[in-house]
Structure 1
Amino acid sequence: MGNPDVIFLHAPSLYDFRTKAVLHGPISDVIPSGPIFEMYPLGFLSLCGHLENAGFSTRIINIANKMLNSLKYDPEQEIQELKPKAFAIDLHWLPHVQGSLKIGEIAKKHHPEIPVIYGGYSATYFHEELIHYPFVDYILKGDSTESPMVMLIKAIREQRDVSEIPNLTYKDNNGNMRSNEITYVPGLIDYVLTEYEFVINKTFKFFDLDGYMPFQTWINYPITAVFLYRGCLYNCKTCGGSRRACEKVFNRKGLAYKSPEKIVTELKTIEHYFNGPSMMIGDIQQNGKAYAYHLLDEIKKANLKNEIALEFFAPPTEDLIRRIQEAIPKYNVEMSPESHDEQIRQAFGRPFNNQQLENAVRACIEHDARRIDLFFMIGLSGQTYSSVMETLDYCEYFLKTYGKKKNLHPFISPLAPFVDPGSEVWEHPEQYGYRFFGRTLDEHRQLMESALSWKYFLDYETQWMTRDEIVLATYEAGIRLNELKRRYGLIPQKIADLVEHRAKSAMGYIKLIDEIVKKGGEHLEDWSKIAYEIRDMNIHTICYKEELNWPVSFFKFNVFKILAHVLKARIGTSWTALWAKIYHNQDKEGKTHVEEDHSGRT
């Protein structure tokens, strides 16, 4: 099979999660992955596609997912057996800091001669600290590193100088840090494709379904995604991808869009193989009305049948929703008002009022949206415990007023575990009323490594709510919203009872853990008594995770099309290789020779 040139490794948030019991709490209840954040960045697919097109072979290994699916799986043994030209490890989301660093350390331990490359938002922000870890050789910075990655792998293969590669931080021959400026910042990203066909091919090539699985339950809920652009026009205060963060950290001074035609091509490719929902990541309104309508016209012409979800950073107009209905028969909508309080919301960076939000929700319902999801947050600037409870009153108002079709789903969750580095709150905590418990990369690694509950790896509290109050408000809000959903028919009694039981149990364990922590070094015996019990308290504690799922077809995969593609790729590769061999051995007279193998057979 041969050794791939570049192997991409995705780590769990906590490397020892299988042996170390931690009350992770509800930090992942409203995202597809679990509390160890086993979902690898979509950027892996684009990077692999670019490298493959440049002639390099690649592989993705979702270490986190493989660890989840088998207690027998030994990640260190697998890494020891790998022999690529380079390891590429993501440190995109900061919660991965402990696991990501541990995987890099293991790779360098067994392969001191193989370069270890880091990339991602958090790697970019902390590049000056990260490069000083002895196992880190290179860091590719910025939100677009496809071309610099190809340059770097070529340089590694040919043992050439890397001083001119854009976006690169590295160690020179004396071990000193060198940092090249982020100058590769493309303004058009038609080249950025989510290479799902690549994933299919490689899964069969390496016989490694778990290694390529985006997250643990993906096989039952095959959601896919397409990026509309990179960058953002909004400046949400806790977001590391906000306008100011992009400008300061990634040198991105504007949006990089993908053409509607390319987006539709990706959606059609996805639909060819999968029958699950697709998420269009980014608000289609950000590039103006003409772009949004052009995109919808192209989608309409494609006659797509799959569920498609759209996210909006500001409420869409009824005219836009009508156009969406005409273009996408099975459309779903996500909006994040964050708070019922207009002042808190606008201070956060969401510039719309409640009337605009309600008008959009009403229009979505009248124009047959399959689902409307509303997301609220706990831990905002200016938000008190009482304000959180008032947000639940607002959720009840929504369900009472607009919930008859049972397609309106409100959610509430904490800002956890970390505030995004580079965000406005991160850069100016006092201005927004925040206090941090960690500021460096290593301090966040220690938070993840030492905490017994999610309360202790929260890296912040606010002047309006302490860590304790954020935790309490989260569980109380979850219990109350859970009961509202039961009352308005969104979840059955059995599910409501499960969520309530887990939330109340988790609150009890939080108190027990607090008592254990107060005992300091004498806590180990007490901890061992409850460690096993808390494992079930890490999902379904503020909502039932499957509540998030958009509708999915009974037949989730187009199996025959997948097999046909794999077969075609294998046969095509074989015939291409054979023809190249024949052509290579043509003599000057044009005669063709086929070389014999060692057995004498042609």
Structure 2
Amino acid sequence: MRDSTVPGPNPERSTLHSVREQGRNAVSRAVPFVSTPDLTLFHPPSVYDFRERSEVFGPISDVIPSSPVFEMYPIGLTSIADYLEGNGYDTRIVNLANQMLMDEDYDPEAEIKHSSANYFGIDLHWLPHCHGAIEIARLVKKHHPDTPVLFGGLSSSYFHDELVEYDCVDYVVRGDSTEEPILRLIETLEQGEKPHDVPNVTWVDDGDVVVNPLECVPTDLDYASLPSYEYVIRSVVKYGSIKKTLPYRRWLDDPMTMLLPCRGCARNCAYCGGSRTAYETAVNRSSPAFRSPERLRQDIDDITAFSKGPIFVINDFRMGGPEFTDEFLDLLEEVDVDNQFIFELFGPADEELFERLDRATADYSLQLSIESHAEDVREHVGKFATSNEELERTLSLALDNGCNQIDLFYMIGLPEQTYDDAVGDVEYSRHLLETLDDDRIAPFTAPLAPFLDPGSPGYENPEEHGYRPLCDTLEEHRERLLAPSWKHILNYETEWLSRDEIVDATYEAGFGMNELKHEFDVIDEDTYVEVKTRLERSLEVIDAVDDVLEGPEDERQERLEQLQEELGGTGEYSICGNDELTWNNDGFRDVFSLGKLGMQILAGSKRSSGADDRRLSRSGERR
């Protein structure tokens, strides 16, 4: 079971830190660094100047590893970098957002100014990055006016024609699998040619926007490492810095790795930018593409070579069908590793599945986004569209078959969801804890924030799903991110909940969940008090921001700055404890072995993504 206590000083961790530094120093002395990569990939913060602004972000990222700065970069960056390096192009990832968050004196503009890549890439995968992404692009053009700037990611793909209208954006590479299109774009530019024949690219030619066909949509994902932790290890050795490549702020202390069985989704949840509709709209993918069980096994080998921490299996692997599911579960039994596995499920499961998960892993847990206790709401949303009886049977079967922890996630701001439905998730959670009598169940509630995702069914057909959109264009979303509180950042209301009601329901449910988890010993006293205090303070500030906005305009900025100082930080973890979503984590394996592994990878004695026959053909399939 996860440790939900607030950690104190850990002498073993201090010793481990010292050992890590020795290992890094030994590696740095042995390896010549590559100072000028062909491509540098910058990961931007959500709002570029968040350290100087007075926004109250609130509970918009409490149930994910990132802070409201969204410093965790898309895992696709590592597969792009690995693929390019395997084909001869040095590629570096620089997580600007994380470094800005970790070091108040860090100067991102200086970092950009002193970078000397031949091409720069910026991810705009999640829409909350739209402010920071453009501002980073402007800084790149300020200091490197003649260097091409590439954008990519799901939100880039959706807003591609708007993006290229910004004078700081040269190319948008659309799709969810852009490793080959980016490679071909760079190859084409290196030859001094225009990218007329490069698939998936949107660009400007003599003042006209050109939208090349989005035809590189591979259905076989074995051609790349997804994600490529081998690349991360190699880049630390190759470029001499682990800080620039860290996935998110606390990753060195609590390293979680990810296993990605597929890209795309078979489900069509009304609010989700990763739904079937969203993938069809933005990246021309009508059904998920999968990695083979053999490649997933290799991914697990790569992860366990350096990490003893939890492995999060993204998406419900059962979407691959019965044959894929059987092969995948057989694979887990064969690998026989001691890392904990965390699985997502999008619907109910039978006892056979949990029996097999129990046999196949040393330790497993579940993350279930059931979204609502109300069956009609779940039916409309499209996830766990089943009866509460069947849902509870699934929970009981998992707990009876070795499941270590079940995180249940509810969401506020859904179609058909009334105020009573939203706050009623607390009482339903009480019913679950009383009926199942098991403190391995941990309920969480959070708002659908900051945005209803572009491409989702609710965004594309708002009237059908009862949404009221409040902004439409990319620039409107960028401006909304500068609003002074998360309530005013929201890009939607629903027929059943106004923005005020979404906020009120969020905090009422937040208080209720905190009380409930404390009562049933899911969290300890310190966490309970901490969350209660933050909720009270956050609610006061939300009300105070509204008062400021109703007051004289010339006094707003000063009063907002006072409120930000009173709240502290960025308002993160206001509805759950900092460590409630931290899993038991044994961290990294021996650092000197890790350094040796890095040297082997760099020398090419281990496999490289470009060393075999995995490059895509012009049609998007493997050669």
TM-score exceeds 0.5: yes
Compute the displacement of 1:566 (Å). Answer: 2.6
Residue among 190, 194, 215 paired with 1:161? 194
Q: Which amino acid letter does the alignment assign opposite residue 45 of structure 1?
A: T
Q: Secondary structure at the match of 2:218?
A: coil
> How far, CA to CA, are the matches of 1:352 and 1:365 in structure 2?
19
Please state if 1:256 is matched with 2:289.
Answer: yes
Contact 1:506 1:537 in 2 (8 A): no
Contact 2:61 2:573 in 1 (8 A): no
**Using CA pairs below 8 Å that are at least 6 residues apart, which structure has the higher relative contact order?**
2
Q: Which amino acid letter does the alignment assign opposite residue 551 of structure 1?
A: N
Residue among 289, 310, 327 paired with 2:360? 327
> How far, CA to CA, are the matches of 1:528 and 1:257 in structure 2?
48
Compute the displacement of 1:567 (Å). Answer: 3.6
Counterparts of residues 381-420 of structure 1 (less than 5 Å): 381-404=415-438, 406-420=439-453
Counterpart position of 2:520: 488
Q: Secondary structure at the match of 2:252?
A: coil
Q: Secondary structure at the match of 1:517?
A: helix
Please state if 1:272 is matched with 2:305.
Answer: yes
Compute the displacement of 1:557 (Å). Answer: 3.5
Q: Which amino acid letter does the alignment assign opposite residue 429 of structure 2?
A: C
Compute the displacement of 1:321 (Å). Answer: 1.1
Please state if 1:380 is matched with 2:414.
Answer: yes
Q: Secondary structure at the match of 2:368?
A: strand
> How far, CA to CA, are the matches of 2:593 and 2:118 in structure 1?
33
Contact 2:156 2:163 in 1 (8 A): yes
Q: Which amino acid letter does the alignment assign opposite residue 470 of structure 1?
A: I
> How far, CA to CA, are the matches of 1:295 and 1:25 in structure 2?
39
Contact 1:224 1:279 in 2 (8 A): yes
TM-score (norm 2): 0.89
Q: Which amino acid letter does the alignment assign opposite residue 485 of structure 1?
A: K
Cα deviation 1:318-343 (Å, max 9, x = unaligned): 11111111111211111111111111
Counterpart position of 1:535: 568
Residue among 534, 538, 542 paired with 1:506? 538
Counterpart position of 1:79: 112
Contact 2:458 2:467 in 1 (8 A): yes
TM-score (norm 1): 0.92
The 1:568–1:144 alpha-carbon spacing in structure 2 relative to 1, beyond 3 Å, is: closer
> How far, CA to CA, are the matches of 2:221 and 2:561 in structure 1?
51
Counterpart position of 1:190: 222
Cα deviation 1:97-143 (Å, max 9, x = unaligned): 00001000110111111000000010010111111000110000011
Counterpart position of 1:577: none
Please state if 1:522 is matched with 2:555.
Answer: yes
Compute the displacement of 1:570 (Å). Answer: 5.6
Structure 2: state its 5+ residue gaps: 1-33, 606-623
> How far, CA to CA, are the matches of 2:297 and 2:371 in structure 1?
30
Cα deviation 1:10-40 (Å, max 9, x = unaligned): 0000111111121110111100010100000
Contact 1:6 1:58 in 2 (8 A): yes
Q: Which amino acid letter does the alignment assign opposite residue 396 of structure 2?
A: R
Contact 2:55 2:570 in 1 (8 A): no
Contact 1:333 1:369 in 2 (8 A): yes
Compute the displacement of 1:572 (Å). Answer: 6.5
Q: Secondary structure at the match of 2:41?
A: strand
Counterparts of residues 14-413 of structure 1 (less than 5 Å): 14-172=47-205, 174-193=206-225, 194-350=227-383, 351-404=385-438, 406-413=439-446
Contact 2:35 2:239 in 1 (8 A): no
**Larger displacement relative to structure 2 (141-150 or 189-198):** 189-198
Cα deviation 1:464-489 (Å, max 9, x = unaligned): 11111111111111111011111111
Percent identity (aligned): 39
Q: Secondary structure at the match of 1:143?
A: coil
**Larger displacement relative to structure 2 (176-185 or 381-390):** 381-390
Q: Which amino acid letter does the alignment assign opposite residue 368 of structure 1?
A: G
Q: Could you say what the CA RMSD is over the residues aligned between the two structures, in angstroms? A: 1.4
Cα deviation 1:337-376 (Å, max 9, x = unaligned): 1111111101011222212211110011001111111111
Q: Secondary structure at the match of 2:459?
A: helix
Q: Secondary structure at the match of 2:122?
A: strand
Q: Which amino acid letter does the alignment assign opposite residue 454 of structure 2?
A: P
Q: Work out the number of aligned pairs and report it.
A: 569
The 1:151–1:475 alpha-carbon spacing in structure 2 relative to 1, beyond 3 Å, is: same
Contact 1:66 1:211 in 2 (8 A): yes
Q: Which amino acid letter does the alignment assign opposite residue 28 of structure 1?
A: S
Q: Which amino acid letter does the alignment assign opposite residue 115 of structure 2?
A: L
Q: Secondary structure at the match of 1:491?
A: coil
Q: Which amino acid letter does the alignment assign opposite residue 38 of structure 1?
A: E
Contact 1:140 1:149 in 2 (8 A): yes
Q: Secondary structure at the match of 1:413?
A: strand
> How far, CA to CA, are the matches of 2:504 and 2:570 in structure 1?
15
Q: Secondary structure at the match of 2:303?
A: helix
Q: Which amino acid letter does the alignment assign opposite residue 472 of structure 2?
A: R
Q: Which amino acid letter does the alignment assign opposite residue 518 of structure 2?
A: R
Cα deviation 1:34-73 (Å, max 9, x = unaligned): 0100000000011011101110000000000111111211
Contact 1:371 1:550 in 2 (8 A): no
Q: Which amino acid letter does the alignment assign opposite residue 251 of structure 1?
A: N
> How far, CA to CA, are the matches of 1:309 and 1:3 in structure 2?
38
Q: Secondary structure at the match of 1:133?
A: coil
The 1:338–1:572 alpha-carbon spacing in structure 2 relative to 1, beyond 3 Å, is: closer
Q: Which amino acid letter does the alignment assign opposite residue 498 of structure 2?
A: T
> How far, CA to CA, are the matches of 1:346 and 1:186 in structure 2?
31
Contact 1:85 1:157 in 2 (8 A): no
Counterpart position of 1:592: none
Counterparts of residues 573-592 of structure 1 (less than 5 Å): none
**Larger displacement relative to structure 2 (416-425 or 385-394):** 385-394
Q: Secondary structure at the match of 1:504?
A: helix
> How far, CA to CA, are the matches of 1:106 and 1:536 in structure 2?
25
> How far, CA to CA, are the matches of 1:512 and 1:300 in structure 2?
55
Compute the displacement of 1:522 (Å). Answer: 2.7
> How far, CA to CA, are the matches of 1:119 and 1:269 in structure 2?
26
